[in-house]
């Protein structure tokens, strides 16, 4: 018999599951910590924490990751006692559990990298074991708070009884709903799973209790389920959801008995965790392969378009073939949208690790920090998410290390002792996302930054941003394990601007705080773009970077071009009652001018070439882009068309130049440069000031 077990695939699945449960455990512990500060009980969160630890322990045992098994087991014991005894986990216990999650995460990371795995720290295990008798001594005698058959109350944990009492205090009603499964109900789609789903939309399910009964016509399986719920919905609405009569719903008070149920603890656990999912895990590499195949189809379509144009020029009737090509283009757009959606990850999911990281950063920095995240429903491509996450962490670390003041300093400045770091998704569109990372700290001291760099004080925030993103610049006197090496902001700029082709902006006010705004594309592989001619070459620019296209034949150019010391000329374009610096891309790139006919013959798109001949051969256009509050114009010889392109990044540092973000193939087999016009605005801003003076 052939052994079909693939260990590598199994390990990949384990790592994905382990990361998910570690994130869930960390998230629940942080929420429990916040609830403890407010004096609130969160029994459901304790149970979710237990499930994550229990699952992680079982998975780790399957891959022989013994250190994680040992730590998860001790944590599981602590959390189970806290759940069964309704004991609140103290601040010190939560801190210890968070440390244990971090240690497990380190072992899982080492396992993923095939590195030696350190044993579980004995002091940590001993500290976790020491919590058990403390929590056991805090057991609350809550059995008398709800009256009912003793055998039933024995089935409820104290925290579940606490949950019912808390719900009654909030004005909710405690109800017992009985569901009897049968083949006839199942044929109508009414099963225990659908019952749980329907009831969960109307109420809070405290417990599902299976009960054995004598087999009858009404209960052919000899099994019933009792759902103990807390709800504010009308009885009729709850009864209608699972097709029972309102009279069958029993209200529970602190004195009323609960329904009888006879089920073992193992049965309860298995019933509680039954559920169906409509999602599957897909290795990111498979999605990358699908995207690569789609990219090849896009390039092939360009080639078909060129062949079609050649046939049309020879006088062939290509109307039917053109229709087929248009249909293919539409289907490719739909396929692109489908693959793009499959690759999208929720921004809130991406940021799940941030609260735990901020907690550690603020503790080591000696700051009191509150983190606020508002990600909404924004999502972005996984490739973009993986790249931008380190930039987000660098900015948050800078906010804590450099922005947020110590508590004593904040109180002296009439500020709350706890600083606030906010991460907000400000703007969403079809192809771009705008993130703001801000703090209410001391702001950036321009004078100090200039002294550290030994350069003049920046005149505005754009110049300040350019200064603080210089490699090696740091305002820290001593490097620490968090900052001080002068690499953080340079890495942020490299990721956001150079790698992703996005934009980075800065706003800072002394004593009031700093805000960094990141505008990033949702995807960087296949983009909508404009193609245009400049001298003898064809270029493309992402559609998302273009604010407006202006026809220069009817536009008003204010001043004659005057070459500056760099060799290119800047004029001023009057547009919408404002003056926009305008520079010729030909002069900026030092491209030799060719006759218009030669330019058209070298155009990558034959369809664009044919339509271009019908226009005035001397018509020129300006591509308008926006950098912060300032707009810039780039003069080109002719706009060609709008199309999807496959962007290939340029990795060779000897080839990369400012203003070029990658290459693409428009079907002729030759590389066409993809321009990043936003990165060129810095080159012309100084010349623009000279043109305005």
pLDDT score for 92? 84
Tokens of 507: 């706003």
- 10 Å CB burial of residue 344 (0-12, 13-18, 19+) is middle
pLDDT score for 421? 93
Residue 614, pLDDT above cutoff 50: no
159/176 Cα distance (integer angstroms) = 18
The arithmetic mean of pLDDT across residues 124-146, rounded, is 68
Tokens of 294: 């789609």
| Band (8; pLDDT cuts 50, 70, 90) | low
Sign of CA dihedral 73, 78, 79, 85: positive
The arithmetic mean of pLDDT across residues 579-604, rounded, is 67
- 10 Å CB burial of residue 99 (0-12, 13-18, 19+) is middle
| Band (151; pLDDT cuts 50, 70, 90) | low
Tokens of 374: 């508002």
Domain map (residue ranges) of the chain: 7-137, 143-272, 284-343, 345-521, 526-692
pLDDT score for 38? 77
Tokens of 601: 């013959």
Mean pLDDT of the chain: 77
pLDDT score for 328? 86
Residue 538 · residue 671 · CB < 8 Å? no
> Who contacts 279 (Cβ-Cβ below 8 Å, separation ≥6)?
none
Tokens of 440: 């209410």
For 599, phi and psi rounded to 5 degrees? Answer: -65, -45
**For residue range 637-674, what is the model confidence (pLDDT) as tens digits?**
988 888 888 887 776 666 667 788 788 888 777 888 88
Tokens of 648: 């290939």
Residue 207 · residue 156 · CB < 8 Å? yes
Facing residues of 209 across strands? 226
| Band (422; pLDDT cuts 50, 70, 90) | very high
**For residue range 528-562, what is the model confidence (pLDDT) as tens digits?**
888 899 887 899 998 878 888 988 877 777 765 55
**Tokens 């409509």 belong to residue:** 278
Tokens of 595: 């006759």
Residue 260, pLDDT above cutoff 50: no
**Tokens 């909710």 belong to residue:** 172
Facing residues of 519 across strands? 434, 503
364/439 Cα distance (integer angstroms) = 18
| Domain 526-692 coded CATH 2.40.50.180 | yes
Find the Cα–Cα–Cα–Cα dihedral 464, 467, 473, 474, rounded to 10°: 0
Using CA atoms, how far residue 621 sits from 418, 569, 585, 593, in Å, is: 53, 16, 11, 16
pLDDT score for 191? 84
**For residue range 230-250, what is the model confidence (pLDDT) as tens digits?**
888 888 888 888 888 777 777
Q: Comparing 277-291, 610-624, 628-642, which segment has the lowest mean pLDDT? A: 610-624
139/128 Cα distance (integer angstroms) = 18
pLDDT score for 86? 56
> Who contacts 574 (Cβ-Cβ below 8 Å, separation ≥6)?
555, 556, 557, 558, 580
Residue 120 · residue 44 · CB < 8 Å? no
CATH architecture, range 7-137: Up-down Bundle (1.20)
Q: Cβ atoms within 10 A of the Cβ of 611, count? A: 12
Fold agreement (345-521, 526-692) = no
pLDDT score for 270? 33
In percent, the amount of the chain with pLDDT more than 70 equals 78
- 10 Å CB burial of residue 202 (0-12, 13-18, 19+) is middle
Task: Read off the pTM.
Answer: 0.58
pLDDT score for 257? 34
Tell me which long-range contacts 551-556 makes (C-beta under 8 A, separation of at least 24): 551/619, 551/621, 552/619, 552/620, 552/621, 552/622, 552/635, 553/616, 553/618, 553/619, 553/620, 555/622
Residue 53 · residue 71 · CB < 8 Å? no
Facing residues of 225 across strands? 179, 210
Assign a CATH topology to domain 345-521: Heat Shock Protein 90 (3.30.565)
Residue 5, pLDDT above cutoff 70: no
pLDDT score for 546? 87
SS3 508: strand
Q: For the chain, how are helix, strand and coil distributed in percent, rounded to 5?
A: 45, 20, 30
Helix and strand numbers, DSSP H then E, in the chain: 24, 24
**For residue range 17-48, what is the model confidence (pLDDT) as tens digits?**
888 889 888 888 888 888 887 777 677 788 88
**For residue range 348-385, what is the model confidence (pLDDT) as tens digits?**
888 887 888 888 888 878 888 999 988 888 888 888 88
The arithmetic mean of pLDDT across residues 570-588, rounded, is 85
606/604 Cα distance (integer angstroms) = 6
Through-space distance between the first and last CA atoms of the chain, rounded to whole angstroms: 84
Assign a CATH topology to domain 143-272: Alpha-Beta Plaits (3.30.70)
Facing residues of 517 across strands? 436, 505
Using CA atoms, how far residue 424 sits from 392, 433, 515, in Å, is: 11, 11, 11
User: Which 3-state string (H, E, C) describes 514-580?
Assistant: EEEEEEEECCCCEEEEEEEEECCEEEEEEHHHCCEEEECCCCEECCCCEECCCCCEEEEEEECCEEE
The arithmetic mean of pLDDT across residues 620-645, rounded, is 85
**For residue range 155-170, what is the model confidence (pLDDT) as tens digits?**
766 667 777 777 777 7
């Amino acid at each position: 018999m052939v052994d079909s077990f693939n260990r590598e695939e199994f390990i990949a699945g384990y790592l994905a599951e382990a990361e998910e449960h570690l994130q869930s455990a960390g998230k629940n512990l942080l929420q429990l910590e916040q609830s403890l500060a407010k004096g609130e009980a969160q029994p459901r969160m304790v149970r979710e924490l237990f499930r994550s630890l229990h699952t992680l322990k079982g998975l780790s045992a399957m891959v022989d990751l013994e250190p994680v098994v040992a730590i998860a087991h001790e944590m599981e014991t602590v959390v189970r006692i806290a759940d069964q005894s309704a004991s609140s986990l103290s601040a010190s216990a939560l801190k210890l559990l968070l440390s244990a999650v971090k240690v497990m995460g380190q072992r899982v990371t080492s396992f993923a990298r095939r590195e030696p795995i350190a044993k579980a720290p004995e002091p940590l295990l001993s500290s976790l074991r020491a919590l058990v008798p403390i929590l056991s001594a805090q057991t609350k005698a809550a059995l008398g708070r709800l009256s009912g058959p003793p055998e039933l109350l024995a089935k409820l944990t104290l925290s579940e009884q606490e949950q019912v009492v808390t719900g009654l205090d909030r004005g909710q009603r405690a109800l017992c709903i009985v569901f009897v499964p049968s083949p006839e109900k199942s044929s109508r789609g009414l099963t225990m799973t659908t019952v749980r789903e329907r009831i969960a939309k109307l109420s809070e399910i405290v417990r599902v209790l299976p009960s054995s009964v004598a087999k009858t016509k009404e209960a052919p399986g000899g099994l019933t389920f009792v759902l103990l719920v807390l709800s504010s919905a009308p009885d009729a609405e709850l009864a209608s959801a699972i097709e029972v009569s309102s009279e069958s719903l029993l209200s529970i008070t602190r004195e009323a008995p609960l329904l009888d149920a006879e089920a073992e603890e193992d049965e309860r656990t298995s019933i509680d965790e039954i559920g169906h999912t409509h999602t599957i895990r897909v290795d990111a590499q498979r999605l990358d392969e699908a995207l690569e195949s789609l990219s090849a189809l896009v390039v092939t379509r360009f080639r078909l378009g060129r062949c079609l144009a050649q046939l049309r020029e020879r006088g062939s009737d290509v109307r039917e073939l053109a229709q087929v090509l248009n249909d293919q283009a539409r289907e490719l757009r739909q396929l692109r949208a489908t693959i793009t959606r499959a690759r999208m990850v929720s921004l809130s999911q991406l940021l799940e690790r941030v609260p735990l990281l901020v907690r550690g950063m603020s503790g080591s920095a000696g700051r009191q920090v509150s983190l606020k995240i508002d990600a909404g429903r924004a999502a972005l491509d996984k490739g973009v998410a993986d790249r931008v996450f380190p930039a987000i962490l660098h900015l948050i670390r800078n906010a804590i290390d450099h922005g947020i003041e110590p508590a004593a300093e904040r109180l002296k400045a009439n500020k709350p002792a706890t600083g606030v770091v906010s991460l907000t998704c400000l703007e969403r569109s079809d192809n771009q996302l705008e993130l703001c990372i801000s703090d209410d700290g001391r702001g950036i001291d321009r004078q100090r930054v200039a002294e550290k760099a030994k350069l003049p004080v920046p005149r505005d925030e754009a110049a300040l941003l350019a200064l603080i993103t210089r490699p090696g610049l740091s305002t820290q006197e001593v490097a620490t394990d968090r900052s001080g090496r002068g690499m953080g902001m340079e890495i942020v700029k490299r990721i956001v601007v150079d790698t992703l082709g996005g934009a980075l902006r800065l706003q800072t006010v002394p004593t009031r705080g700093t805000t960094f705004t990141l505008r990033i594309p949702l995807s960087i592989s296949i983009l909508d773009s404009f193609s245009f001619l400049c001298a003898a070459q064809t270029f493309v620019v992402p559609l998302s970077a273009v604010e407006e296209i202006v026809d220069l034949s009817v536009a008003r150019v204010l001043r004659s071009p005057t070459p500056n010391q760099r060799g290119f000329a800047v004029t001023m374009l009057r547009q919408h009652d404002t003056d926009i610096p305008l520079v010729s891309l030909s002069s900026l790139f030092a491209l030799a001018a060719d006759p218009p006919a030669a330019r058209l013959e070298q155009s990558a798109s034959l369809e664009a070439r044919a339509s271009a001949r019908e226009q005035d051969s001397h018509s020129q256009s300006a591509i308008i882009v926006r950098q912060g509050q300032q707009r810039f114009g780039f003069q080109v010889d002719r706009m060609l068309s709008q199309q999807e392109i496959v962007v290939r990044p340029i990795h060779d540092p000897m080839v990369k130049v400012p203003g070029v973000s990658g290459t693409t193939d428009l079907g002729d087999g030759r590389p066409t440069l993809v321009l990043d016009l936003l990165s060129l605005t810095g080159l012309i801003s100084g010349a623009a000031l000279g043109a305005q003076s």
